[in-house]
């Protein structure tokens, strides 16, 4: 009996030792001295039931077992059980300076105690201070701003404004594109432009399609084509703006062009719902001839948040950090591209990175969705949250808060490497 017990205990000890050994090889998450508050809301199961019964089904969740997130701090998120995750997707490229950034939080709380809302039919300091601060970051003649509640509203307004100004109706955009619109006149002009050799191999730009960059001189030539035909050029900086690309504050600056209209959102408020349209005085005057009013756009609270975000970007050196840490991450990920056949491409600029997954580098066929999903799930289980994009959802989107560090990158790349290795082992076993 005693011998049998010793053998049994020895087996348990062996299994524990084996489990500890496998865990010890897992990537070690960087330390964080922030302690989240205790979760005190509904149990997970009740949240799931409410989701099924009361929230529109079109609002889909990520992962087989959706995360119930409870709190955030800079580049970190915490779920209802206190587990910590490195956020590499930033609320879909929205948290620019960090979750609950202290400077933004303090400015917001101070303004909430003073004045939340009064429409822009009255003057109040915040909108004027913010308009001056924001437009100072744009080249001439982009010096007039119209504040909105979201990027979708900003893009709708930009197209409306362009149509009023040009008296043209037609829009040219690229599929899966968040970043470029052209307003031109008539079907003949559209056909002429699209048949131009410039557009034959036009790469879809950065954003939801997986951080694909424009070919060299594409925008310069495209702008010239459009303007020669009486059109306007609109640059959507919802994802590329506010220093995320590293080398420049706005994405269009990397291509040596100046748009006629620029739309902003997401990182503009670090998660606060706001957006903006920046244009010339001449184009903005076209809108003044029509009744167009926004109840909440440019409210005192939003303007204070926006100004605090701009201050945080400058004071924390986040544009430079995006360039340095983004380049560091691209080089680390490029090594995985060289090592694994299923990593078809690693691309991007600054902290806008796409990792395209393929069956093999010769065919470049998208890796099947279920295989990509398992790699995605493995990353989450090891504490790293990333996005998905691309025409076939075959590209991992890495666009973290701009406060991320090189130490965080080391952890994230190690996790991603482990997930890729697990995929290889699963494939070999089938």
Report the alpha-carbon distance of residue 349 to residue 240 in Å, rounded: 10
Sequence-distant (6+) residues with CB within 8 A of 61 are 51
3-state secondary structure of 428: helix
Q: Does residue 132 register a pLDDT over 60?
A: yes
Please say whether the structural domain 108-316 has been given the CATH code 3.40.640.10. Answer: yes
CA–CA gap between residue 110 and residue 308 (Å, rounded): 12
Long-range contacts of 120-129 (CB under 8 A, 24+ apart): 120/294, 120/297, 120/298, 120/299, 124/300, 126/300, 126/301, 126/303, 126/304, 126/307, 127/298, 127/300, 127/303, 129/303, 129/307
Class of CATH domain 62-101+318-429: alpha beta
Cβ neighbours for 209, distance < 8 A, ≥ 6 positions apart? 175, 176, 177, 389, 390, 391, 395
Q: pLDDT band at residue 174, thresholds of 50, 70 and 90?
A: confident
Distances (CA, A) of 177 to 39, 145, 227, 347: 38, 23, 21, 17
pLDDT in tens, 10-46: 333 333 333 232 333 578 999 999 999 999 999 999 9
Whether residue 192 is predicted with pLDDT greater than 90 in this model: the reply is no
Give the number of other Cβ atoms within 10 Å of residue 67's Cβ. 16
State yes or no: cis peptide before 203, omega within 30 of 0: no
In the chain, list all ranges with CATH 3.90.1150.10: 62-101+318-429
Eight-class DSSP state of 74:
B
Q: Which has the minimum average pLDDT: 117-121, 156-160, 195-199?
A: 195-199
Query: What pTM value is reported for the model?
Result: 0.88
Q: Which of 361, 95, 66 is closest to 244 using CA atoms?
A: 95
Q: Output phi, psi for 118, to 5 deg.
A: -150, 135
Ranges for all domains in the chain classified under CATH 3.40.640.10: 108-316
Burial zone of 392 (CB within 10 Å; 0-12 exposed, 13-18 middle, 19+ buried): middle
Secondary structure of residue 202 in the 3-state scheme = coil
Using alpha carbons, select from 358, 297, 7 the residue that is nearest to residue 151. Answer: 297
Those residues whose C-beta lies under 8 Å from the C-beta of residue 235, and which sit 6 or more positions away, are 179, 180, 250, 251, 252, 257, 259, 261, 262, 263
Q: Return the residue matching tokens 């360039």.
A: 323
Q: Please answer whether residues 396 and 211 qualify as being in contact, where contact means their C-beta atoms are separated by less than 8 angstroms.
A: no
Sheet harboring 180-184: ordered strands across? 144-148, 275-279, 261-264, 232-236, 180-184, 170-173
Non-local CB neighbours of 349 within 8 Å, separated by 6+ positions:
206, 211, 213, 245, 246, 247, 254, 326
- pLDDT for res 82: 96
Q: Smallest Cα–Cα separation from 271: which of 385, 104, 66, 55? A: 104
Q: What is the pLDDT of residues 205-248, one digit of tens each?
A: 345 556 777 788 888 888 998 898 888 999 999 999 999 999 99
């Amino acid at each position: 009996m005693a011998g049998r017990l010793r053998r049994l205990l020895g087996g348990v000890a062996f299994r524990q030792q084996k489990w500890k050994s496998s865990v010890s090889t897992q990537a070690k998450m960087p330390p964080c001295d922030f302690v989240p508050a205790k979760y005190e809301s509904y149990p997970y199961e009740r949240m799931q039931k409410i989701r099924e019964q009361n929230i529109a089904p079109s609002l889909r969740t990520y992962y087989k077992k959706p995360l119930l997130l409870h709190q955030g701090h800079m580049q970190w998120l915490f779920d209802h059980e206190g587990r910590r995750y490195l956020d590499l997707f930033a609320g879909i490229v929205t948290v620019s300076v960090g979750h609950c950034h202290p400077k933004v939080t303090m400015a917001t709380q101070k303004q909430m105690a003073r004045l939340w809302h009064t429409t822009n039919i009255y003057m109040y300091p915040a909108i004027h201070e913010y308009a001056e601060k924001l437009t100072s970051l744009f080249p001439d003649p982009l010096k007039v701003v119209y504040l909105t509640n979201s990027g979708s509203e900003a893009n709708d307004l930009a197209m409306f404004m362009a149509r009023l100004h040009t008296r043209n109706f037609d829009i040219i955009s690229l599929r899966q594109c968040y970043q470029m619109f052209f307003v031109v006149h008539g079907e003949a002009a559209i056909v002429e432009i699209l048949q131009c050799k410039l557009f034959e191999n036009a790469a879809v730009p950065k954003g939801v399609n997986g951080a694909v960059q424009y070919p060299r001189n594409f925008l310069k030539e495209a702008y010239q084509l459009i303007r020669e035909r009486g059109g306007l050029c609109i640059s959507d900086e919802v994802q590329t703006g506010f220093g995320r690309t590293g080398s420049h504050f706005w994405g269009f600056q990397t291509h040596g062009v100046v748009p006629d209209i620029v739309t902003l959102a997401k990182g503009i408020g670090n998660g606060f719902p706001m957006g903006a349209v920046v244009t010339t005085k001449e184009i903005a005057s076209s809108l003044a001839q029509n009744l167009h009013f926004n109840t909440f756009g440019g409210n005192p609270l939003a303007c204070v948040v926006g100004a605090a975000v701009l201050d945080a970007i400058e004071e924390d050196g986040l544009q430079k950090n995006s360039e340095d840490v983004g380049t560091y991450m691209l080089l680390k990920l490029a090594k995985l591209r060289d090592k694994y056949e299923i990593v078809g491409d690693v691309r991007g600029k600054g902290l806008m990175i796409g990792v395209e997954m393929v069956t093999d580098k010769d065919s470049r066929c998208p890796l099947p969705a279920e295989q990509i999903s398992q790699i995605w799930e493995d990353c989450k289980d090891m504490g790293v949250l990333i996005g998905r994009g691309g025409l076939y959802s075959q590209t991992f989107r890495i666009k973290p808060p701009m406060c991320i560090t090189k130490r965080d990158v080391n952890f994230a790349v190690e996790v991603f490497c482990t997930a890729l290795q697990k995929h290889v082992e699963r494939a070999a076993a089938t």
